Structure 1
């Protein structure tokens, strides 16, 4: 017959709780928060079993539980935690402005387009250009634009100098769409140039598009964004949906150099 849960075996009489191990009052090992730092010595075995040796006060280590008057507790490897908001059941982290990113313009253009004029038009709406990639034959990757723009198209990337907030991406895409309309081919043809803005930071490369797909996130105003390259240990790496031209050694080499420039600029900006 099973023993009732509330029964105590005769051979096991409960011992009086020792100070610091279940006793009531201040000697229980959990101090008054106003007195300074406290620990959870009242639950030593449970404390040892918690992942990462964390206690029950918001996942912080015992020596890091401080008096309530201190309010905000910085914790290595984590965002700043506001203990007052935590006790009130409110979000404990406030939104932070993103770090600036480095923008670029991806160009696919017809040989009939004047690059000199194109650069002037781009400079009138964007920042000045600090790096230019090797010019590639776009037809080697796809004939996607051949019907609209004709054969023998070229592919290039131009990086913009200033670091800007990433939320500029949607606005840049709309400006690019306006500029494309200035390069409509004569005789009722299509565009002479396709301009796709994007940006990179230390960990990823993001492209803008006006077409929706499963891997894209809506930014607003008819513009979507996708992560096309992610930075690994050895450099940028493509993803399942990355375009063939962005997988090319020339593109990866260009964006690797652009990332190095970005990191130098970022140090200067954050140092100021």
Structure 2
């Protein structure tokens, strides 16, 4: 018989998809108000993986990833997604988003993103929010799955999440200084 235990806190991470740097800066500020200080942010990269968002958000989109200093209880993922959805609406231009915020939870074993879209591999959490198992940690690195989004599957992104895993592991062992990256942009 399995004996239920409390979940270990996870590293709250995010992906931002945006066109305008001023919106990015304001949303990063709003995110820190909601979830606390950032401890790492990647440098922006051109988002060339799909044209899906161009009709709504425009062309020349940029993608960056980051994480927060404080660890969170995994049961908060639906609430976090609801809050980031509200940010997207707050910064929308009419019905068109100017920013896409993808929150997720990083553990030593996996990266799980929150989404409102159902698919066979997604687990319902609550209120129309699903958990999307995006990356698995195997053989010393995060590995993509057949359904992993291409920008999360690329090697540079997975390396960035590997660095965040190191911060998480050190934090859990009580060795990581807070603000280990001082929100300095890290190279992907």
Provide the aligned C-alpha RMSD in A: 1.5
Map of 1:233 onto structure 2: 139
Give the CA deviation at 1:113: 4.2
One of 113, 118, 136 as aligned partner of 1:212 = 118
Greater gyration radius: 1
User: 1:114 aligned to 2:23?
Assistant: yes
Map of 1:180 onto structure 2: 88
What is the distance in 1 between the residues matched to 2:136 and 2:21?
Answer: 34
Give the CA deviation at 1:111: 2.1
Preserved contact between residue 104 and residue 198 of structure 1 (Cα < 8 Å): yes
User: 1:167 aligned to 2:75?
Assistant: yes
Map of 2:185 onto structure 1: none
Give the CA deviation at 1:115: 2.7
Map of 1:146 onto structure 2: 54
Give the CA deviation at 1:125: 1.2
Map of 1:98 onto structure 2: 7
Map of 2:129 onto structure 1: 223
Map of 2:167 onto structure 1: 261
What is the distance in 2 between the residues matched to 1:201 and 1:193?
Answer: 26
Give the CA deviation at 1:93: 4.2
> 238-247 or 161-170, which moves further after superposition?
161-170
TM-score by length of 1: 0.62
What is the distance in 1 between the residues matched to 2:95 and 2:122?
Answer: 29
What is the distance in 2 between the residues matched to 1:126 and 1:242?
Answer: 25
SS in 2 for 1:259: helix
What is the distance in 2 between the residues matched to 1:95 and 1:201?
Answer: 18
Counterparts in 2 of 1:1-272, with a 5 A limit?
A: 92-111=1-20, 113-138=22-47, 140-185=48-93, 188=94, 190-268=96-174
Rate the CA distance shift 1:213–1:184 in 2: closer, same or farther, 3 A.
same
Number of residue-to-residue matches in the alignment: 175
What is the distance in 2 between the residues matched to 1:162 and 1:264?
Answer: 13
What is the distance in 2 between the residues matched to 1:124 and 1:182?
Answer: 15
What is the distance in 2 between the residues matched to 1:114 and 1:207?
Answer: 22
- Which consecutive segments of 4 or more residues in structure 1 shift more than 4 A? none
Rate the CA distance shift 1:215–1:184 in 2: closer, same or farther, 3 A.
same
Higher RCO, Cα 8 Å, sep 6+: 2
The gaps in structure 2 that reach 5 residues or longer are: 176-188
Give the CA deviation at 1:250: 2.0
Q: Normalized per residue, which structure has more strand? A: 2
